């Protein structure tokens, strides 16, 4: 690289950074030092304490402020004469449309979620702007280059599918701690403190058959004038005692499983004990907000401790009491938030008590918080390394040095002596529904599924559109937008509730639908195939989308260490779906999920350890034994041909 | 470990990284004392990383004044003459680093590190030096080795878009978990002097070319009496001549030390910020590993060249190359 030429392309470039978090802080610093002079940065987040260990542009005094703006100010201190334009906004806002993207020479992603990454990928394709994409988790990281028509797009490769748990695993047969967490967080917590109207599978059913009609009184409702102690114990006994007892009656379930044991509060806690906890209203001010803590109240202060059953029970009752006495106003509107101390305490305790019932090892609050909050492991060093690699690729993109583009993996354990492993980028996949025109195939029961199911489960959840428009030929079946007239809105609302085959323009087997997102300027076609039956366990959504991402194999299900290890129950569907993690820097090694870097069987210098198991890279790595010793990934195991950028 | 617990403040601040290396490792980090010498861009990156990680203390040594070159890659120094005049590089960096993490003690030590007595080195767990002459590297490494406890020694340097890290953990034992088993590992490191005396022809054929090129330039600067990093384009003929001599002396084919690589390294001696970030990141990770006892530390050289994008570990020690 000629350094003069390098400097001039860098100086003249206008770059967009998406994300001012872990990678973003490092990236902004490195861009500024490298001579970039016109940098725009989008981030909707505000600064939190747990960011400060690695997002080095932020200080304690900045907590609560916009990341994009504070990052700008911090970098201007050592590079006062460059232009940094911050946007404290969501990259999915309509303002950031294709025209907005077109003004940049390159887009650099330091994002924390799949959804936004896909959105940016589509905008970059539509605007024809190169994208350098990145991700880290713990000591692992990767940087990839996506240039329309030359290299694969971000969505050419299958992405880790959200983890799903069959609903009965959560409600009746948990076998891992994460199942208990999901139950505590998405069912119990929501039932007690969240939206009462939401469908909730908390109560196990005594038979496998769904909803027998039993319009009994809601046991979770606090009765008028019911003493809070009494209420807490009633809930405790219901969910940890009665419900388990009820489940036991279904003998078939337990033939091959450990039989759970019902737990009642009277067996765990003595009466005088709860009394000692004193009167909350007297001891605490009324507006302590989210800092209220049952742990603090009970004199337990180490989040790394694993509590006993009794301690968990005390926390459970105390937290419940604190919610009702101090945060009563919020009840009915709460949803779980990993930064809500009391919520984390409640969920930890509830999950642990349930774990005792089912003979599952208990966990500390620290660990439980990580699982419940999908907290991603993050260290400063990996982010710094990845940011350096992003800038190197960005400069190549600006120089149009296509043959030098690399995707680079940052590994925890060396592979072929390498900790930083460059790989040639892949060509675009011809059947990619995002960057090519290949239609998707949807198997669905057109006589039972409603348009709403299709919109929610496929168009939004799977295809990742935010503002979809659905067409059957020239007939518009559905669209969203601010400028629709009332008739249309009513019309679309009615369509949503219709079964596909009964829509004004009926959708049946053989139909091709066009789905479009106007903001992403992205559209794709979906061929509909009617299918009568779906396996409830394996295909809980009751439909199957082909040609985008295959469901994970059974082996994957047993893997706890996958990224985004938490999960949440989706009430709309009969399955429990893990959300993509929402903290910083998530989502590892995008292709890492499915490519294995196997060892080079050819001559190598010395014994070389396998690539980090944690990367779970599962397809074959082929090594070109050329002078440059370049490493190339190949989709081994499938019939796909080698893909190289030429 | 002793029973000391992390404070609530530490747990909150270090939450994400404790999830990576555990509370024990975090406690060890908070008791570690680190010294760095030579405050250029790569060392600034390294300092940022370990201050964020939460080491016990960081001591900076560099009495030089600000230069254009330092300003170009060191983000710890505000480019305002009113702010930096009269202060040494160490003092300026110290002020910025203190801000990054109030829980880490950052301080400045004046003087020439290679002239400090061995008992001074006893105060530290890790010494990192940059922009040091060959003689100074050898001497400081020797002092680390004669200290009463183990003092880990690292050198780090970046030129053009290349970087090199050297590691000496002396006699290093650690354990790791593989599945349910705990494996005890033992690594023996050569000193810098021992490592670079390993005859070139005994090294594996594919050893990084950067290793040889860096040795040539290091040697050139020593024999010509230059400061580290001072060889320039004008010196290329001399450097190439020395390369030939060294290759001859080691019976190594000259193709292992390409002329164009040497040319790059003498033409552009300043640091390339993305490479500073990468090398500073790898070095930070290595120092954290060595202090915490978590993870396999690299032995004993690391090279990165932005041109091919590879970040490679080379084991250059006499015992590892004898057909083991
Ligand atoms: Zn694609």
pLDDT higher than threshold 50 for residue A302: yes
Report the pLDDT value the prediction gives residue A343, as an integer from 0 to 100: 95
Chain B closest-CA separation from residue A348 CA (Å): 17
Compute the distance between CA of residue A385 and CA of residue A378 in angstroms, rounded to an integer: 13
Report the pLDDT value the prediction gives residue B154, as an integer from 0 to 100: 98
Mutation choice for A interface testing from B283, B304, B310 by most A CBs within 10 A: B310
User: Degrees (nearest 5) of the Cα angle A40, A46, A47?
Assistant: 105
Between chains, do A379 and B20 touch, taking CB under 8 Å as contact?
Answer: yes
Percent of chain A past pLDDT 90, that is, above it, reads 48
- Average pLDDT score over chain B: 92
**Separation of first and last alpha carbons in chain A:** 20
- pLDDT per residue over A126-139, tens digit each? 999 999 999 998 89
- pLDDT per residue over A150-167, tens digit each? 999 999 987 666 666 778
Residues near B124 by beta carbon (within 8 Å), at least 6 away in sequence? B33, B34, B35, B59, B151
* A304 at B interface, C-beta within 8 A: yes
Mutation choice for B interface testing from A5, A375, A381 by most B CBs within 10 A: A381
Between chains, do A52 and B13 touch, taking CB under 8 Å as contact?
Answer: yes
Contacts of A366 in chain B (CB under 8 A): 11, 18
H-state helical runs in A474-598: 486-496, 554-557
Mutation choice for B interface testing from A384, A387, A629 by most B CBs within 10 A: A384
Tokens 């405790």 locate to A236
More confident residue, A482 or A639: A482
A–B interface: beta-carbon pairs under 8 A: 178
Can you list the positions of beta strands (E) in A53-130? 83-87, 106-109
Residues 172-211 of B with CB under 8 A from A: 204-207
Span of A320-329, B8-17, B289-298 with lowest mean pLDDT: B8-17
Report the pLDDT value the prediction gives residue A159, as an integer from 0 to 100: 66
Between chains, do A420 and B278 touch, taking CB under 8 Å as contact?
Answer: yes
- The partner residue sitting opposite B13, judged by closest CB among A49, A377, A421, is A49
Distances (CA, A) of A393 to A83, B247, B289: 21, 34, 28
Nearest chain B alpha carbon to A420: B311
A116 is an annotated ligand-binding site residue: yes
Between chains, do A385 and B278 touch, taking CB under 8 Å as contact?
Answer: yes
Mean pLDDT of B184-207: 94
Burial (CB count within 10 angstroms: exposed 0-12, middle 13-18, buried 19+), residue B101: buried
Compute the distance between CA of residue A349 and CA of residue A369 in angstroms, rounded to an integer: 11
DSSP per-residue codes, A334-358: ----TT-HHHHHHHHHHHHHHHHHT
A67 is an annotated ligand-binding site residue: yes
Mean pLDDT of A363-391: 91
Compute the distance between CA of residue B72 and CA of residue A148 in angstroms, rounded to an integer: 34
pLDDT higher than threshold 70 for residue A212: no
A554 is an annotated ligand-binding site residue: no
Strand pairing partners for B184? B175
Can you list the positions of beta strands (E) in A341-431? 407-415, 418-423
Between chains, do A417 and B79 touch, taking CB under 8 Å as contact?
Answer: no
More confident residue, A281 or A255: A255
More confident residue, B17 or B140: B140
Report the pLDDT value the prediction gives residue A162, as an integer from 0 to 100: 60
Ligand 1 centroid to residue A155 C-alpha, Å: 5
More confident residue, A100 or A302: A100
Q: Report residue A551's pLDDT band, with 50, 70 and 90 as the boundaries.
A: very low
As a whole number of Å, the CA-based R_g of chain B is: 20
pLDDT higher than threshold 90 for residue A583: no
Chain A closest-CA separation from residue B11 CA (Å): 8
Report the pLDDT value the prediction gives residue B37, as an integer from 0 to 100: 97
- The partner residue sitting opposite A382, judged by closest CB among B77, B281, B308, is B281
* B26 at A interface, C-beta within 8 A: no
Report the pLDDT value the prediction gives residue A217, as an integer from 0 to 100: 65
Report the pLDDT value the prediction gives residue A290, as an integer from 0 to 100: 52
Residue A556 zone, left/alpha/beta (φ > 0; ψ -120 to 50; rest) = alpha
- pLDDT per residue over A41-51, tens digit each? 999 999 998 88
Mean pLDDT of A442-446: 93
pLDDT higher than threshold 50 for residue A320: yes
Can you give the residue ranges of every domain in chain B?
8-193+271-314, 197-267
Burial (CB count within 10 angstroms: exposed 0-12, middle 13-18, buried 19+), residue B171: exposed
Between chains, do B311 and A420 touch, taking CB under 8 Å as contact?
Answer: yes
Nearest chain A alpha carbon to B322: A606
Distances (CA, A) of A84 to A33, A72, A80, A228: 13, 6, 10, 54
Between chains, do B282 and A419 touch, taking CB under 8 Å as contact?
Answer: yes
Compute the distance between CA of residue A440 and CA of residue A158 in angstroms, rounded to an integer: 14
Burial (CB count within 10 angstroms: exposed 0-12, middle 13-18, buried 19+), residue A568: buried
A25 is an annotated ligand-binding site residue: no
Report the pLDDT value the prediction gives residue A374, as an integer from 0 to 100: 82
Report the pLDDT value the prediction gives residue A50, as an integer from 0 to 100: 83
pLDDT higher than threshold 50 for residue B271: yes
- pLDDT per residue over A139-150, tens digit each? 999 999 999 999
Report the pLDDT value the prediction gives residue A464, as an integer from 0 to 100: 86
- pLDDT per residue over A483-542, tens digit each? 888 888 999 999 999 999 999 999 998 888 999 998 888 888 899 999 998 887 778 788
Ligand 1 centroid to residue A158 C-alpha, Å: 10
Strand, helix or coil for residue A546: strand
Chain B closest-CA separation from residue A417 CA (Å): 5
**Separation of first and last alpha carbons in chain B:** 35
- pLDDT per residue over A31-73, tens digit each? 999 999 999 999 999 999 888 888 999 999 999 999 999 999 9
Report the pLDDT value the prediction gives residue A246, as an integer from 0 to 100: 87
Mutation choice for B interface testing from A31, A306, A388 by most B CBs within 10 A: A388
Contacts of A375 in chain B (CB under 8 A): 15-16, 19
Distances (CA, A) of B93 to A319, A463, A478, B66, B80: 46, 49, 59, 11, 14
Q: Contact at 8 Å (CB) between B213 and B239?
A: no
Q: Contact at 8 Å (CB) between A313 and A272?
A: no
CB atoms within 5 A of ion ligand 1 belong to: A 153, 156, 432, 434-435
Q: Which CATH number fits domain B8-193+271-314: 3.40.50.720, 3.40.50.12780, 3.40.50.880, 3.40.47.10?
A: 3.40.50.720
Compute the distance between CA of residue A77 and CA of residue A80 in angstroms, rounded to an integer: 6
Ligand 1 centroid to residue A437 C-alpha, Å: 10
Compute the distance between CA of residue A446 and CA of residue A458 in angstroms, rounded to an integer: 14
CB burial of A360-392 (b: ≥16 within 10 Å; e: otherwise) equals bebbbbbbbbbbbbbbbbbbbbbbbbbbbbbbb
Ligand 1 centroid to residue A121 C-alpha, Å: 9
- pLDDT per residue over B63-89, tens digit each? 999 988 888 889 999 888 888 888 999
- The partner residue sitting opposite B23, judged by closest CB among A49, A304, A406, is A304
Percent of chain B past pLDDT 90, that is, above it, reads 76
Q: Contact at 8 Å (CB) between A358 and A180?
A: yes
Q: Which of A25, A168, A180, A524 is catalytic?
A: A168
- Report residue A586 as tokens: 């998530």
Peptide bond preceding A423 in cis form (omega within 30 of 0): no
Report the pLDDT value the prediction gives residue B321, as an integer from 0 to 100: 47
Contacts of A408 in chain B (CB under 8 A): 309
pLDDT higher than threshold 50 for residue B291: yes
- pLDDT per residue over B124-164, tens digit each? 999 999 999 999 999 999 999 999 999 999 999 999 899 99
pLDDT higher than threshold 50 for residue A622: no
- pLDDT per residue over A240-263, tens digit each? 999 999 888 888 888 888 889 999
Complete domains list, chain A, with CATH: 3-161+378-423 (3.40.50.720), 175-359 (1.10.10.520), 440-546 (3.10.290.20)
- Average pLDDT score over chain A: 79
A128 is an annotated ligand-binding site residue: no
Mean pLDDT of A315-320: 95
- The partner residue sitting opposite B281, judged by closest CB among A303, A381, A414, is A381
Residues in chain A: 646
pLDDT higher than threshold 70 for residue A616: no
Report the pLDDT value the prediction gives residue A547, as an integer from 0 to 100: 73
Nearest chain B alpha carbon to A51: B13
A168 is catalytic: yes
Q: Contact at 8 Å (CB) between A344 and A338?
A: yes
A110 is an annotated ligand-binding site residue: no
Q: If we measure between CA atoms, which residue out of A39, A40, A38, A34 comes closest to residue A6? A: A34
H-state helical runs in chain B: 8-13, 15-29, 41-53, 68-73, 81-84, 89-100, 118-121, 134-146, 192-196, 209-223, 236-249, 259-267, 273-292
Contacts of A383 in chain B (CB under 8 A): 281
Report the pLDDT value the prediction gives residue A536, as an integer from 0 to 100: 77
* A387 at B interface, C-beta within 8 A: yes
Distances (CA, A) of A495 to A450, A464, A544, A553: 8, 21, 21, 35
Residues near A645 by beta carbon (within 8 Å), at least 6 away in sequence? A150, A151, A402, A403, A405, A424, A425, A426, A427
Q: Contact at 8 Å (CB) between B30 and A68?
A: no
CB atoms near residue A645 (< 10 Å): 18
């Amino acid at each position: 690289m000629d350094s003069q030429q390098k400097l001039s392309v860098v100086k003249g470039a206008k770059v967009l950074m998406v994300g001012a978090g872990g990678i973003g802080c490092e990236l902004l610093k490195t861009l500024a030092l490298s001579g970039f002079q016109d940098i725009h940065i989008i981030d909707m987040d505000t600064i939190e304490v747990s960011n400060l260990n690695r997002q080095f542009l932020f200080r304690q005094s900045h907590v609560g402020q916009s990341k994009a703006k504070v990052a700008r100010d911090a970098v201007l201190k050592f590079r006062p004469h460059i232009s940094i334009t911050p946007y404290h906004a969501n990259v999915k806002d309509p303002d950031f449309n294709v025209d907005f993207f077109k003004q940049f020479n390159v887009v650099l992603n330091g994002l924390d979620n799949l959804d936004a990454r896909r959105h940016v990928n589509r905008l970059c394709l539509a605007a024809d702007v190169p994208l350098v994409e990145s991700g880290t988790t713990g000591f692992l990281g990767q940087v990839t280059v996506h240039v329309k028509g030359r290299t694969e797009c971000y969505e050419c490769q299958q992405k880790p599918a959200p983890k799903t748990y069959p609903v009965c695993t959560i409600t009746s047969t948990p076998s891992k701690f994460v199942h208990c967490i999901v139950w505590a967080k998405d069912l119990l917590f929501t039932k007690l403190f969240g939206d009462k109207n939401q469908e909730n599978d908390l109560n196990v059913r005594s038979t496998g058959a769904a909803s027998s009609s039993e319009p009994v009184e809601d046991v979770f409702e606090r009765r008028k004038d019911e003493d809070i102690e009494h209420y807490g114990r009633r809930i405790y006994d219901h969910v940890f005692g009665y419900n388990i007892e009820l489940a036991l009656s279904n003998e078939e379930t337990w033939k091959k499983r450990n039989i759970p044991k019902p737990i009642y509060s009277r067996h765990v806690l003595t009466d005088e004990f709860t009394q000692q906890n004193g009167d909350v209203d007297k001891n605490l001010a009324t507006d302590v907000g989210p800092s209220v803590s049952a742990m603090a109240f009970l004199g337990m202060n180490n989040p790394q401790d694993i509590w006993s059953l009794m301690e968990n029970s005390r926390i459970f009752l105390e937290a419940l009491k604190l919610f009702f006495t101090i945060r009563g106003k919020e009840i009915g509107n709460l949803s779980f938030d990993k930064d809500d101390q009391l919520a984390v305490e409640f969920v930890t305790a509830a999950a642990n008590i349930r774990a005792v019932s089912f003979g599952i090892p208990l966990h500390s609050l620290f660990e439980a918080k990580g699982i419940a909050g999908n907290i991603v492991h993050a260290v400063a060093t990996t982010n710094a390394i990845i940011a350096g690699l992003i800038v190197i690729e960005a400069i190549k993109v600006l120089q149009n040095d296509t043959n030098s583009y690399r995707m680079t993996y940052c590994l925890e354990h060396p592979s072929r002596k390498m900790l930083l492993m460059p790989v040639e980028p892949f060509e675009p996949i011809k059947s990619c529904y995002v960057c090519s025109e290949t239609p998707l195939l949807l198997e669905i029961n057109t006589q039972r599924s409603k348009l709403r199911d299709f919109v929610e489960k496929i168009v939004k959840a799977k295809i990742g559109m935010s503002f979809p428009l659905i067409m059957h030929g020239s007939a518009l079946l559905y669209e969203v937008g601010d400028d629709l007239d009332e008739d249309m809105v009513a019309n679309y609302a009615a369509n949503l509730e219709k079964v596909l085959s009964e829509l004004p323009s009926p959708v049946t087997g053989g139909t091709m639908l066009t789905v479009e997102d106007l903001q992403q300027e992205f559209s794709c076609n979906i061929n509909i195939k009617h299918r009568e039956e779906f396996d409830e366990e394996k295909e809980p959504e009751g439909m199957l989308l082909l040609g985008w991402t295959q469901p994970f194999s059974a082996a994957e299900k047993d893997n706890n260490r996958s990224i985004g290890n938490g999960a949440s129950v989706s009430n709309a569907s009969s399955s429990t779906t893990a959300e993509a993690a929402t903290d910083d820097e998530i989502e590892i090694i995008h292709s890492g999920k499915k490519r294995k870097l196997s060892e080079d069987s050819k001559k190598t210098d010395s014994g070389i350890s396998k690539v980090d198991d944690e990367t779970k890279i599962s397809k074959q790595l082929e090594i070109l034994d050329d002078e440059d010793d370049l490493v190339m990934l190949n989709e081994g195991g499938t019939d796909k041909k080698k893909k190289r950028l030429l | 470990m002793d029973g000391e617990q992390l404070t609530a403040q530490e747990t909150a601040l270090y939450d994400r990284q404790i999830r990576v290396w555990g509370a024990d490792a975090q406690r060890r980090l908070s008791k570690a004392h680190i010294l760095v010498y030579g405050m250029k861009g790569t060392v600034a990156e390294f300092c940022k990383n370990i201050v964020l990680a939460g080491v016990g203390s960081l001591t900076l040594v560099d009495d030089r004044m600000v230069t254009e070159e330092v300003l170009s890659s060191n983000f710890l120094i505000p480019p305002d003459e009113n702010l930096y005049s009269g202060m040494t590089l160490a003092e300026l960096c110290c002020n910025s680093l203190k801000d990054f993490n109030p829980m880490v003690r950052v301080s400045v030590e004046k003087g020439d590190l290679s002239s400090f007595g061995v008992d001074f080195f006893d105060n530290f767990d890790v010494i990192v030096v940059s922009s040091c002459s060959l003689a100074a590297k050898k001497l400081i490494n020797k002092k680390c080795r004669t200290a009463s406890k183990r003092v880990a020694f690292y050198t780090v340097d970046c030129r053009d878009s290349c970087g090199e890290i050297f590691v000496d953990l002396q006699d290093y034992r650690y354990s790791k978990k593989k599945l349910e088993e705990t494996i005890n590992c033992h690594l023996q490191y050569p000193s810098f002097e021992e490592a670079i005396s390993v005859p070139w022809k005994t090294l594996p054929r594919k050893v990084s070319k950067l290793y040889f090129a860096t040795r040539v330039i290091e040697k050139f600067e020593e024999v010509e009496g230059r400061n580290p990093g001072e060889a320039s384009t004008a010196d290329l003929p001399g450097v190439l001549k020395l390369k030939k001599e060294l290759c001859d002396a080691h019976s190594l084919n000259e193709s292992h030390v390409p002329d164009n690589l040497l040319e790059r390294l003498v033409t552009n001696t300043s640091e390339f910020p993305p490479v500073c970030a990468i090398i500073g990141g790898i070095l930070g990770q290595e120092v954290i590993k060595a202090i915490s006892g978590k993870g396999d530390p690299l032995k004993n050289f690391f090279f990165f060249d932005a041109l091919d994008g590879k970040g490679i570990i080379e084991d250059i020690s006499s015992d590892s190359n004898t057909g083991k």
